[in-house]
Structure 1
Amino acid sequence: MPEVYIHNGPLVIGAGLAGLSVALNTAPQPTLVLAPVALGVACSSAWAQGGIAAALSDQDSPAAHAEDTMVAGAGINDANATRLLTEMGPGVVHRLNDLGAPFDHNADGTFVLNREAAHGLARVARVGGDLAGKKILEAVVARAKAAPHIEIWEGAIASGLIRSDADTVIGAVVELGGKVIEVFAPVVVLASGGSGGLYAVTTNPANLRGEGMAMAALAGAEIADPEFVQFHPTALKAGIDPAPLATEALRGEGATLITRDGYRFAFDDHPDGELAPRDIVARAVHRANLTLGGAFLDCREAIGAHFPHEFPTVFASCMAAGIDPRVAPIPVAPAAHYHMGGIRTDIDGHTSLRNLFAVGECASTGVHGANRLASNSLLEAAAFGERVGHAAARELETFTPDTTNALRPARPPRLTPDAVQTLRDGMAQHAGVIRDAKGLETLIGLIGSLELSFKGALPLVAARLIAECALQRHESRGSHYRQDFPATASEGERTFVRLKEGRLIRTEMNREIA
């Protein structure tokens, strides 16, 4: 029998920047954080290279940042969430700086700012060149470990949500140290990360496969925009899993995308070339690899001898793969990088289920629309983490759970390594940079065949959400490109669905997806 543990405060599932930002802002409420691995290891925020976007210069403004975010989002951003995020941006960066995140500063004390794709000007604050995620998270981890109101269970993996009724979450089933523990809590916050590990080529930790979104969906929560998966244009193409990222800041510093013979192919797709929105650049790189003999990021002139100091993470990855980027172009390919979709929330992290919050990449506030603007992810994790922490602490109620009659989730099966690889290959082939109906239908059939042996496995639930909603979106918008529907609809609509008896129901239109 599982152990029962009653926690009288917020339960946070996930310990990346979003989850720890929540926990730091729930004080003085006792907060339990579940970290599936050691703190600061194998979470996407720790691997983020470019930096954190915010209007930090005299030439910039939150309104300009919001406008760039909306343009990149291709018409389906939530305007209120976008405005709030960009208005919070400068304060969030200053608070992280005060927390100990060692941002790069100019001699006059101002932040060193990079320009990245689809930004109208330089507004990405960086740390140690390309160490933003790692160094920011180190500062946040140190503060969380020292906080007296925070308890952290390392190696704790949540596998399902416990409810008191169909619409109220009261805890989670957790595996820790070989034991199964039913953790009951008055508030549960999902901060479990994204879904990049569903794809054969990803820049994310491969263990992140949309499990938080899947757990919420199985509990009946509304899911938003799951078809929108962003592919980073420039992952190192060297057969490494996960694929090392060649940060967009390189292109912001002047690095170019070329074919083997030096042709700058990105201008074939957009007048901004290498600094076009990510979805456009990703398709250009994909096309170059398929039809032009390869795609390469040429940093020789723009970065050159400064590479080891300016971009130490990328430099180390290249050298480990036998490529010296100071003297040779870097072979690159698109890789699954960020999930714009996820658990539908408002700006305070409330989901459609009572007492369940979500934040970070597993959530979907609508702020990113169909295509995330570069370096808005760390900002979202920290900014909305603050808001969710305050809301979760503010809304705590007296908690006396009925542990006897609670609705416990079925324990999901674990995919075998072979099944994981089959799924990842299928997602990459059929739900990747370029999609069509035939491929998506093939993918849904593959998911169905895996479900015969692994019904209810969380990665399969997440993959089905992405694939079925991608099949139903008969247009190309942002990161979702359908070669059989290349046009963009005149009016943008978001996707909202729920799982009901194993099938997806469109909640806005109240009809079943075929």
Structure 2
Amino acid sequence: MDNYRYLRDFNSAEIEAEHYDIIIIGSGIAGVYTALEMPDNYNIAILTKETIDISNSVLAQGGIAVSLDKGDSPQLHFNDTIYAGAGLCNTEAVWVLVNEAAENIECLCKFGVNFDKKSSNELSLTREGAHSMNRIIHAGDTTGKEVCDKLISEVRNKHNVKIKERTFAIDLLTEDKKCAGVLAYDEDEGVCRIYLSSMVICSTGGFGQIYNNTTNPEVATGDGVCMAYRAGAELTDLEFIQFHPTVLYHPENKNFLISEAVRGEGALLKNIKGERFMPAYHELNELAPRDVVSRAIFAEMKKTGSSCVYLDITFKSREYLENRFPNIYKTCLGYGIDISKDYIPVSPAEHYCMGGIKADVFGRTSIKGFYACGEAACNGIHGANRLASNSLLEGLVFGHKIGDEAAAILKERTTACNSMSFASDRKEKNLDIESIKKQTQDIMTAYVGILRDKQGLSYAREKIDEFYKLAFDMKNKGVKDFELQNMLLLSRLVIEAALEREESRGAHFRSDFPDTDDVNWKRHIVKGVEKNA
């Protein structure tokens, strides 16, 4: 691995370098909110792969979970999170999440986030899968965009924050196992740059693009997670990939999310025969945990020989639906589906990665000075299956925790790194990158999806290994090359973890090991370069 520690050769003496107190990689809610929570006397750079407004967070529809109702409490929110997590949640992290939720939502309101309200001017609350109470605050069905728009507006006005758009973070620079900065690629100028800092926060989101159909944007190729792995950070829980049960199934779009809040408002799932089926699968019916609903839909599709099922909310008026779900209503109508009259064709698609960079409640990883937050991190909140609408909340609560600790962290900082260089024996290769990427996505979808078994996983490992070996020592010149390396590395690691866990738990379901085995498997699988050496 040492010969290929970095994806690009470099010599810091020959590359333009900039110094910052803090570097944040990623511009979703976790990254931007963390920047806003930092003291104003620190110089901060936000590096983002595309423009600042492109992220998983922007696409989030449903809302943010917070216990505000009179009959609700942090304890009940805790219980629901633990239940959904199927025995693998970190209870300390979950307590922090539910107890600090309200104060962070109050901060969002002060930033001007316009959540839906009741006539009494109280925040409107709805329910989503596996929640025992109405506790989801929302802004129509574009909550993520509303929150991101307000936070981005705030961060643009911060005199101490520089936003570096179209800047691909290639690798974490380390010296003596400590964070020293980031090697990055300027996508517009086609050159590498070095951003030096002893504190780097990774909030790059998930890696849904290793699958064919995903609700994630094209930028979600797991770059931050792979950067961390190459630098020696530990990764954990990679086998737990959440598939959202209800994603639009249409010839022109199989990636548009139909929010769980639609089912929270009473929508029913029906098979192609028009029969409701969820009561046969779980006592919570349409509001069962996401892994349960996804597998139930998968089973119904198989049973009826269909490629989708239907979501029925036709009992609600057009006026109500246009007001409550304006984006969903408008988008579906654009495809000829009037959801006040027509059933919505849906099927599961990859949505969220529970696993990621192993971190504690303050975002600390196994590399000194390197922190992780949001979907790129894994602090154990979600366990084996994320509870709906805990993801945006996670970015807020733990971004705030890192901000709170920043002053203490930076007191211990070391001088920025000495002159660094790296040379490898990477070779010029003429690979069909798009073809390899597509085949990787096909394999991951077919064999490492909702249902898994040893035979399929072993086949997937064999095929992905072939691609990995082809590309491993390739001279990487630009973003497409970097992304391919990261997608292949992550696919291998996900398959390895899925093969290793010989049980079914949460979002990981093995048809050859259909039962949950608490005796042998109520534990986490940790991946790291040293562990796998």
Partner SS for 2:528: strand
Is 1:142 the counterpart of 2:142? The answer is no
Once the two structures are superposed, the pairs formed by residues 196-235 of structure 1 within 5 Å of their partners are 196-235=208-247
* 3-state SS of 1:58 partner: coil
Q: Which moved more, 1:53-62 or 1:489-498?
A: 489-498
How far does the alpha carbon of each residue in 1:103-129 deviate from its partner, in whole angstroms, 9 at most, with x for none? 0111222110010000001000011x2
SS in 2 for 1:395: helix
Q: Say which of 258, 272, 276 aligns to 1:260.
A: 272
Output one character per residue of 1:33-69: Cα deviation in whole Å (capped at 9) or x when no partner.
001111212x110000000000111111111101100
State the distance in 1 between where 2:425 and 2:403 align: 29
1:330 to 1:407, Cα distance in 2 relative to 1, 3 A: same
1:429 equivalent in alignment to 2:439: no
Give the one of 193, 203, 208 matched to 1:181: 193
1:172 aligned residue? 182
Asked if 1:317 corresponds to 2:327, the answer is no
SS of 1:434 mapped into structure 2: coil
The residue number in structure 2 matching 1:126 is 138
Query: Partners of 2:409 and 2:423 in 1: how far apart?
Result: 24
Question: d(CA) in 2 for partners of 1:409 and 1:219?
Answer: 16
Unaligned runs of 5+ in 1: 506-511
**CA shift in 2, pair 1:170/1:274, >3 Å:** same
Q: Which residue of 1 aligns with 2:493?
A: 465
How many corresponding residue pairs?
A: 500
1:248-294 Cα distance to aligned partner (Å, 9 max, x none): 00001000000122211112210111010100001111122222234
Supply the distance in 2 between the matched residues of 1:24 and 1:394 (Cα, whole angstroms): 17
What residue is the counterpart of 1:441 in the other structure? 458
Deviation at 1:317, TM superposition (A): 2.2
Query: Counterpart amino acid of 2:405?
Result: A
Please tell me whether the aligned partners of residues 164 and 407 of structure 1 are also in contact (alpha carbons under 8 angstroms): no
Tell me what 1:379 maps to.
Answer: 393
Q: CA separation in 1, counterparts of 2:488 and 2:527?
A: 16
Alpha-carbon shift at residue 25 of structure 1 (Å): 1.4
Residue 493 of structure 1 aligns with an amino acid whose one-letter code is R
Task: Measure the CA separation in 1 of the matches of 2:391 and 2:183.
Answer: 28
Residue pair 1:55, 1:61 contacting (<8 A) in 2 also: yes
The equivalent of 2:169 in structure 1 is 158
Q: Which 10-residue stretch deviates more, 147-156 or 313-322?
A: 313-322
Instruction: Output the TM-score relative to the length of structure 2.
Output: 0.90
| CA displacement at 1:306 relative to structure 2 | 2.2
How far apart, CA to CA, are the structure 2 residues paired with 1:265 and 1:147?
52
Match of 2:518, SS state, is coil
**Cα pair 2:248 2:346 within 8 Å, conserved:** yes
Q: 1:482 to 1:271 in 2, by over 3 A?
A: same
Pairwise CA distance, 1:440: 0.8
Letter in 2 for 1:77: C
Q: Distance in 2 between matches of 1:33 and 1:209?
A: 18
| 1:404 aligned residue | 419
Structure 1 residue 211: deviation in Å?
Answer: 1.4
What are the equivalent positions in structure 2 for 1:453-492 lying under 5 Å apart? 453-455=470-472, 457-491=485-519, 492=522
Q: Which amino acid letter does the alignment assign opposite residue 454 of structure 1?
A: A
Out of 48, 51, 56, the position equivalent to 1:38 is 51
Q: CA deviation at 1:143?
A: 0.5
Report the RMSD for the aligned CA atoms in angstroms: 1.9
**Whole-angstrom distance in 1 between the partners of 2:403 and 2:424:** 26
1:194 equivalenced with 2:206 (yes/no): yes
Partner residue, 1:509: none
Letter of the 1:328 partner, please give it.
Answer: D
Task: Assess, with a 3 A threshold, how the Cα gap between structure 1 residues 212 and 402 changes in structure 2: closer, same or farther.
Answer: closer
Question: Residue 6 of structure 2 corresponds to which residue in structure 1?
Answer: none
CA-CA distance at 1:389 after TM superposition? 2.4
Taking a change above 3 Å as real, the CA distance of residues 96 and 349 of structure 1, as seen in their structure-2 partners, is same
Q: Which residue of 2 aligns with 1:350?
A: 364
* Equivalent of 1:451 in 468, 471, 474: 468
Q: Deviations over 1:287-332 (max 9, x none)?
A: 2222223411111014544222210111122122222211111111
CA distance 1:14–1:225, change in 2 (3 Å) = same
Q: Is the Cα contact below 8 Å between 1:285 and 1:334 reproduced in 2?
A: yes
Residue 113 of structure 1: SS of its match in structure 2?
Answer: coil
Give the match's secondary structure for 2:100: helix
**Residue 328 to residue 152, structure 1, CA distance change in 2 (3 Å):** same
Match of 1:248 among 226, 241, 260: 260
C-alpha distance in 2, partners of 1:399/1:374? 40
Does 206-215 or 288-297 show the bigger shift?
Answer: 288-297
Larger displacement relative to structure 2 (296-305 or 400-409): 400-409
Q: Percent identity?
A: 35
Deviation, structure 1 residue 361: 0.2
Q: Could you say if the C-alpha distance between residues 439 and 62 of structure 1 is closer, same or farther in structure 2, counting changes exceeding 3 Å? A: same
| Match among 395, 408, 412 for residue 409 of structure 2 | 395
Shift of 1:499: 2.0
Worse-superposed segment, 486-495 or 217-226: 486-495
Separation (CA, whole Å) in 2 of partners of 1:115 and 1:377: 15
